[in-house]
Amino acid sequence: MVEIDKDELRKKYPNLWNEINGQNSTLKDLIIEGMQTDKFRGYTPNAIDYLRRCERNEEAEKTISYLLKKGEISPEYAKKLRKQLKEKGLRSFGPKKEDGYYLREAGIE
């Protein structure tokens, strides 16, 4: 990797220096855009993410049973989720995640 002094960089490459330091927002916009599209790269939804897509408690119960059957969650965690569902309700897991949630959060849609 090549090292360069700040003053030398500013003198030799003034446009790059301005972009890096925010005087031209193009570079920062590209960096932020790249960060947004990568926000969910490699992300695997967890049980709560699936429950937040449910419309009714019955759907949530089936989701918990499915995740337990597939080995995605432990029996202890399934019990905890069911208890929370029964005592506090479905929306205690968070607001409903509508279709396109991850695309909107990543700024793609």
Tell me the three-class secondary structure of 42-100, residue by residue.
CCCCCHHHHHCCCCCHHHHHHHHHHHHHCCCCCHHHHHHHHHHHHHHCHHHHCCCCCCC
In this prediction, residue 102 carries a pLDDT of 65
Q: Where are the domains of the chain?
A: 6-37, 47-105
Per residue in 8-55, pLDDT tens? 878 888 887 777 776 655 555 555 455 445 666 777 889 999 999 999
Per residue in 44-79, pLDDT tens? 889 999 999 999 999 999 999 999 999 999 999 999
pTM of the model: 0.60
Average per-residue pLDDT for the chain: 81
